[in-house]
Structure 1
Amino acid sequence: MTATTLDAVTPAGAAARRPVSGTVHSWDLSTGVDGPGSRFVTFLSGCPLQCLYCQNPDTLRMRNGRRVAADEIVAEAAKYRRFIRAAGGGATISGGEPLLQPVFAGELFHRFKHELGYHTALDTSGYLGARATDALLRDVDLVLLDIKSWDRDTYRKVTGRSLEPTLDFARRLADLGKEVWVRFVLVPGLTDDPANIERVAAFAASLGNVSRVDVLPFHKLGEAKWAALGMDFALRDTPSPTPREVAEAREIFASQGLTAV
């Protein structure tokens, strides 16, 4: 399994379509954290970012996943159709980074939406937003977009990457009128400067398509996974933010007219 072969498949909807497959870490059911309602969440393997606080470091590398046909995932998601519809939920593709495998993700979104009738959500950093075709985005109802910091140096420290592709993708989603939930992880001593939060909030408010902001308090629940993988967890000594600090961050987003939870 290599990144170079991930999308060497016929795109969804082609006349002579071969079975589409991708590298998948796992799938699960969740409620309230991966989009509205109860959701079938597919976690794809591989991510170009190296976030210091990643809670799923076991999804970062392709080799930690397995090759799975889209048919298998759609059949699994179909088992929960009655429950998901009753709960006002849908299907979310997360990771890792789904847009590292855009053809596979696009196939799943198309089938989740048109075969199963599910509300669809893309959970992404936006760094690979240029890989999301307009056809893929047409089958996405909601984008969960991580904006990890406004300060460029902090963003690179957190992720190892540049912020600009994420901002470009955010603007494109706004131009398309695609609903977005912004996700912001509050990390004491790293992303919690009020000026930093204010700039993220102002940008999100300027887009016009952000219906919600999730302020997510940093935690160390994934630390054991880092250790099991032989990876250094650089934030082991960083505390979680206090409830007051989280509330203050939410107030900053709310001051821009955004719904912050």
Structure 2
Amino acid sequence: MQVSTIHSPQPTDIQGYIHSIETCGTVDGPGIRFVIFTAGCPLRCLYCSNPDCRYIENGKKVSVDTLIQEIQKYTSYMNASGGGVTVSGGEPLYQPHFVTEIFRRCKALGIHTALDTSGYCDLQVAKPVIEQADLVLLDIKSYDPNIYAKVTSVSLEPTLAIARYLNAIHKPTWIRFVLVPGLTDAPHNIEGLADFVATLKNVEKIEVLPFHKMGEYKWGQLGYEYQLKETQPPTAEQVQAAHAIFHSRGINVA
């Protein structure tokens, strides 16, 4: 598996490519968070809300110094709410040196750090980033390898390897699973994921995220074919059924 990365310059001049930032995010980790969406992603998820993040060269080049200056404007909100900084994407592990330095600088300032990742990365490349993260939000998009490949166009195994490593080092982790009717909602798929997560002692909770089509218009603007046009969001009953499977394994569900 090949992972594109930015070269590793001296810490004082590390730069990377971002898609955007959200200054007061509330859904990507605890509290109020400064969320950095990086550019570049090796996955091609059928339901992706940010298909404009696919290619790193389409991002905006920015230095860690610039980001830290901006982050410090929001420390009062983060401190009061128990929040911090989350790096999401795209795929943050596509730019490991850049993200590691963001986290290192944040931790030096006492700011909580969270990594939102698909886990599709060579483990040795990911380790320095994980070391600097206080929390990992790990997206496991399917447990059935065939469904995973259909959803993402890549292999599941790197994500499972990172999940096992996070457990081995006792890194606080939230698992994220998108419930897509007719795609990821097969009972055997959810049960397989529940059985796997139940073996991980570091997982604080699993977030079942109902499928939505808020990013569909971007696909059209970019000339991409959106294959889930006819797929509807899950019903409340379907979401509750997924929750029940995770609850039956003793897993905290959000």
Shift of 1:4: 9.1
Shift of 1:213: 0.4
Matched, 1:113 2:113: no
Shift of 1:207: 1.1
Deviation per CA, 1:121-155: give whole Å up to 9, x if none.
00000011525454432221110001111111110
- The match for 1:92 is 86
Aligned counterpart for 1:227 among listed residues 211, 220, 229: 220
Q: Distance in 2 between matches of 1:99 and 1:47?
A: 9
- The match for 1:8 is 7
Change over 3 Å in CA distance of 1:6–1:164 after alignment to 2: closer
- The match for 2:32 is 38
Alignment of 1:151-162 (within 5 A): 151-162=144-155
Shift of 1:108: 0.3
- The match for 2:51 is 57
State whether residues 219 and 240 of structure 1, in contact with CA within 8 Å, keep that contact through their aligned partners in structure 2: yes
Q: Distance in 1 between matches of 2:45 and 2:191?
A: 22
Q: Distance in 2 between matches of 1:44 and 1:196?
A: 29
State whether residues 21 and 69 of structure 1, in contact with CA within 8 Å, keep that contact through their aligned partners in structure 2: yes
Change over 3 Å in CA distance of 1:77–1:129 after alignment to 2: farther
Q: Distance in 2 between matches of 1:190 and 1:94?
A: 24
Q: Distance in 1 between matches of 2:191 and 2:4?
A: 41
Deviation per CA, 1:152-209: give whole Å up to 9, x if none.
1110000000100100010011001001100000000011011110110110110111
Q: Distance in 1 between matches of 2:136 and 2:4?
A: 26
Aligned counterpart for 2:42 among listed residues 41, 45, 48: 48
- The match for 2:73 is 79
Matched, 1:103 2:77: no
Deviation per CA, 1:8-57: give whole Å up to 9, x if none.
1336xxxxx44000011111124431000000000100000000000111
Q: Distance in 2 between matches of 1:40 and 1:183?
A: 19
Structure 2 gaps of 5+ residues are none
SS across alignment from 1:207? coil
Q: Distance in 1 between matches of 2:3 and 2:108?
A: 29
How many residues align structurally? 253
Shift of 1:63: 2.6
- Which stretch shows the higher mean deviation, 25-34 or 80-89? 25-34
Q: Distance in 2 between matches of 1:131 and 1:168?
A: 11
State whether residues 129 and 166 of structure 1, in contact with CA within 8 Å, keep that contact through their aligned partners in structure 2: no
SS across alignment from 1:93? strand
CA RMSD of aligned residues (A): 1.6
TM-score where L is the length of structure 1: 0.93
Q: Distance in 1 between matches of 2:167 and 2:132?
A: 16
TM-score where L is the length of structure 2: 0.95
SS across alignment from 1:78? helix
State whether residues 9 and 18 of structure 1, in contact with CA within 8 Å, keep that contact through their aligned partners in structure 2: no
User: Residue type of the partner of 2:66?
Assistant: E
